[in-house]
Amino acid sequence: MRSLSPVSWLPSLSDVLFGALVVWLFVAGSGWEGLLTDGDTGWHIRVGDYILETRSAPTRDLFSFSKEGEPWYAWEWLADVAFALAHRRWGLAGVAVFSGLLISATAIILFRQMLWRGASALAALAVVLLATGAGSMHHLARPHLFTLLLLAISLWVLERDRRTPDAVVWILVPLTALWVNLHGGFLALLAGIVLLAAGSTAEALAGGPGWAEARRYTLLTVCCGAATLVNPYGFRLHLHIARYLHSDWIRNRVEEFQSPQFRSENLLHFELLLVAGLLVAGWLLSKKRLADALPVVFWAHCSLVSVRHAPVFAVACAPLLAAELSGVWERWAGSLAPRSIPAVVAATSRDLTAGFRRATAWTWLFAGLAIALTPSSKWPRDFPVSKFPVALAGRPELSSGARVFTSDEWGDYLIYRAWPRQRVFIDGRSDFYGQGIGEPYLELMRGGQGWEKLLSLHGFRLALLPADWPLASLLERAPGWRIVTRDGRAVLFERTKDLEANGTE
């Protein structure tokens, strides 16, 4: 029996990188709290609590008074359960750490895939840091993190099958059945397989040997598509998602469905990836590598139409980009003198690659050490006070069941703090509320014409408003409303009994 080499027991550079990513992304800087800057996390936790208590996925609305009891699809129910379990055991700190580990695992899987594709260690490191920076716009404790992780795994499985076809690729069928219950991003996998089948067909039509791949991946698409029916709502979930994605109102009103505005550091990272990716796609097209080029062009288009696809572009295209850029560097360095800087960098990168290829159990020890480095002051005990009305949300008025008007994100937070005692007018579930509730909400938020009628129509007795909203200024001067309390961020208004007694509702 062959004994294990001592090297196999030693930590690898890949293990160290995983811990370093956790430190860089979450221990340093804004810390774990940055993962909780989206209020949707609150209602996801409460959906998970409901499922754990009832042992069933909800089919009707749980949280609103504006659409109480209407049909609703908790299409991320399994992710909600995962968040609720982490929350029950470790609170919001547990939710943040769980989410941070998903993000770091996605990055390390991308990095290892780059090396497997033939990228040099330094090129892979540069591209994975760029891709992680581009995806940081959506580094939030929400179910989409499962999509980014599973997409990185799935595309690696597909690329492996292209090189050496075997039965392993069919693991994507049960993976799809899992994915459809975690997040609606399972559509990214189906798109990836369809693009591969289409690219293979195009290569075959251009005279290449692509027909076998085209047939194989067409069949895989059908099988994975059938697996998406394994969810609590069956085909009705697909109809709901289709209506949601094709809603002009959603696309025009919800920020993450709109085109990117290149004004932040993470979008600069995305821009660099995008330009490099399209240049590589053009070169691949000139070589008739259509199955490689087509996904780059497709996801580039999607990310320019909707910024929510920018992290998907980074995950889908970064491994190919790293491998192709490494090839360009190696060819350039090979044409120069051995002691030139490019040649030395290339040689150093090749020497480091072996140390990054291994992964051991030390990965989790380094991750644990990185988490342990977090100062106690940086552990989240609540949602960030810089964004949510943490102090005011504890007021007894906001757990009395009275109808309250507030922002959609603060509605998410009230669900976290006060459900089931308190229901909301609107929260972050834009797919559920749609234009029917969304338009009155936007009109009230702006303090537009008819705001008084809308407040009366929906029977609001409380209003918890950001201090800089136009409606807050209007209510300060409006008869029939009084300020209960305020802080630097929020104002809580209450409708006075005098107004109700006068019959002016």
Beta strands per DSSP E along 291-413: 404-406
- List the pLDDT tens digit at each of the 505 positions of the chain: 444 455 557 788 888 999 999 998 998 877 899 999 999 999 999 999 999 999 999 999 999 999 999 999 999 999 999 999 999 999 999 999 999 999 999 999 999 999 999 999 999 999 999 999 999 989 999 999 999 999 999 999 999 999 999 999 999 999 999 999 999 999 999 999 999 999 999 999 988 788 999 999 999 999 999 999 999 999 999 999 999 988 888 888 888 888 998 888 889 999 999 999 999 999 999 999 999 999 999 999 999 999 999 999 999 999 999 999 999 888 888 888 888 888 888 888 888 888 888 878 888 888 888 888 888 888 999 999 999 999 999 999 999 999 999 999 999 999 999 999 999 999 999 999 999 999 999 999 999 889 999 999 999 999 999 999 999 999 999 999 999 999 989 999 999 865 444 444 4
Q: What is the pLDDT of residue 7?
A: 52
- What is the Rg, in whole angstroms, of the alpha carbon atoms belonging to the chain? 26
Counting Cβ atoms within 10 Å, is residue 360 exposed (0-12), middle (13-18) or buried (19+)?
A: middle
Q: How far apart are CA 407 and CA 441, in angstroms?
A: 8
Q: Which of 233, 238, 261 is nearest to 137 (CA)?
A: 261
What count of other Cβ atoms lies within 10 Å of the Cβ of residue 53? 9
Q: Which of 499, 497, 494, 470 is nearest to 482 (CA)?
A: 494
Please, how many CA atoms are within 13 Å of residue 462, restricted to the half-sphere of its CB? 26
- 3-class DSSP assignment, residue 419: coil
Q: How far apart are CA 377 and CA 292, in angstroms?
A: 47
Counting Cβ atoms within 10 Å, is residue 302 exposed (0-12), middle (13-18) or buried (19+)?
A: middle
Q: What is the pLDDT of residue 420?
A: 93
Q: How far apart are CA 110 and CA 105, in angstroms?
A: 9
Q: Phi and psi (nearest 5°) for 406? A: -155, 180
Q: How far apart are CA 249 and CA 439, in angstroms?
A: 9
Q: How far apart are CA 22 and CA 361, in angstroms?
A: 16
The model carries a pTM of 0.93
Q: Phi and psi (nearest 5°) for 64? A: -110, 160
What Cα–Cα distance (Å) separates residue 306 from each residue in 26, 41, 106, 323, 358? Answer: 26, 22, 22, 27, 37
Beta bridge partners of 60: 71
Instruction: For Cα atoms 37, 42, 43, give the angle at the middle one, nearest 5 degrees.
Output: 135
Considering Cα of 365, then 369, then 372, then 374, what sign does the dihedral take?
Answer: negative
